[in-house]
Amino acid sequence: MWNFPLVPPTASEEGVGISLLYWTITGLAVVFGSIVLFGVIYLAVRYRADNNAVDRSNAVDSDLRVELAWTLVPLVLALIMFGWAAKLYADIYAPREGYYEVFVIGKQWMWHCQHPNGVRENNVLTLPAGRLVKATIISQDVIHAFSIPAFRVKRDAVPGRYNAMYFTPTKPGEYHLLCTEYCGTKHSEMIGKVVVLPEKEFQAWLEKGGQGLATATTSMGGGAAAGGGTLTLAQQGEQTFKALGCNACHMNPNSAVKVPDITKTWGSDIMLEDGRVVKGDEAYIRESILNPGAKIHKGYQNLMPPYQGQVSEEQLVQLIAYIQSLADSSTGGN
């Protein structure tokens, strides 16, 4: 009851800058707000009707100079704040290099997180301190939003599209993980925690297959056990690839069907039949699995059956990791 902080913890590099921006705007707001609030009270009291001791002469009712002053000063300050905020925004949403990637799938009403080495977590996301993290986020049903207030970041989990965000956790500890986009009955129970571990402990945790450290259910709620086998995400993807029969045509040198070389898909520019060029990224691979006819590789025919409704979001993430790993190994690593 008596534990009521008035500010959230700040546990990411990006969060430091965003907090500074927050308090700067708050400072400006306090200055302008005070001018108006105290100004109005002062004027309304000083010029009250029964006070005849004040000077009311020369009460002009317009003046271009003051109009310009109270237009231009706020305008200049606004433009500075705008630019600063846009820069910080780009830091968390624009593509960056050299990250540790996690996939996050939102569904009514839980968060499912997948690490590249195959470790899976529900309603818990364990991360290393001091490393840039890329979270690739998608929803399986309605729109959710993946929010970590201590990092000052959030991103909507939208069905049908991968959204990415970047952040660098700095302080080891446990933080709220929240759904902030209303998603139905148990919206307020779609919560969990982010556990930040020092780099060494995190590596040890990963190697143990995500066992041991982040299993306790805490006051923050949520907290399902971490799990996962001995396979990496890409290896799980390879299994899925075979299980779905993709290998009958793709990655089959004896295939009777002429198919694009998926070892070259990831990260390349793909020429389409209609002349457009698209990037071979998560969104393209996802769409090409679910609805292959949407973007046809130049020189190929639309022979593949659509997999809409037959592949889960988890499997799609695995398949993407697999296809990514093919490109990485063929080009000698990332």
Partner 1 sequence: MATATYTGTEKPNYLNWKTSVASWLLTYDHKRIAILYLVSISIFFLLGGLAAAFIRLELATPQGDLLTSDVYNKMFTTHGVIMIFLFLIPSIPAVFGNFLLPLMIGARDVAFPRLNLLSWYFFMAGALLVLIALFRGGIDTGWTFYTPYSSSFAKGEVSLAIVGVFLAGFASIFTGINFLVTIHKMRAPGMTWFRLPLFVWAMYATSLIQVLGTPVVAITLLLVAVERTFRIGIFDPNLGGDPILYQHLFWFYSHPAVYIMILPAMGVISEVLSAFSKRRVFGYHFVAFSSLAIAIIGFLVWGHHMFSTGQSMYAGIVFSFLTWIVAIPSAIKIFNWMATIWKGRVHWDTPMLYALGFMGLFVIGGLTGLHLAAMATNVHLTDTYFVVAHFHYVMVGGAIMGYLAALHFWWPKMTGRMYPEGWGKLAAMLVFVGFNLTFFPQFLLGYMGMPRRYHSYAEEWAVLNVLSTAGSSVLGFGYLLPVIYLTWSLKYGKVVTERNPWGARGLEWELVDPVPDPHNFERIPIVTRPAYDYAHPEEPTGFVPKPRPVVVGGKDG
Residues 216-275 that bind partner 1 (CB under 8 A): 219-221
- To partner 1, the closest distance from the beta carbon of 21 in angstroms equals 6
Of 11, 92, 206, 321, the residue at the interface with partner 1 (CB under 8 A) is 92
Under rule CB under 8 A, residue 176 binds partner 1: yes
Tokens representing residue 283 in the block:
């969104």
Under rule CB under 8 A, residue 158 binds partner 1: yes
Of 13, 53, 65, 79, the residue at the interface with partner 1 (CB under 8 A) is 79
Round to whole Å and give the CA distance between 94 and 158: 18
CA 16-22-23 angle, 5° bins: 95
Under rule CB under 8 A, residue 29 binds partner 1: yes
- To partner 1, the closest distance from the beta carbon of 302 in angstroms equals 17
Segment interacting with partner 1 (CB under 8 A) among 62-70, 127-135, 235-243, 298-306? 62-70
| Residue 295 contacts residue 278 (beta carbons within 8 Å) | yes
C-alpha distances out from residue 294 to 274, 297, 305, 306, Å: 11, 10, 12, 10
Nearest CA-CA partner of 169 in 205, 134, 133, 201: 133
Under rule CB under 8 A, residue 16 binds partner 1: no
- To partner 1, the closest distance from the beta carbon of 247 in angstroms equals 27
Assign residue 312 a region (left: φ > 0; alpha: ψ between -120 and 50; beta: otherwise).
beta
Tokens representing residue 325 in the block:
């790993």
Under rule CB under 8 A, residue 110 binds partner 1: no
Under rule CB under 8 A, residue 135 binds partner 1: no
Segment interacting with partner 1 (CB under 8 A) among 1-9, 206-214, 249-257, 295-303? 1-9
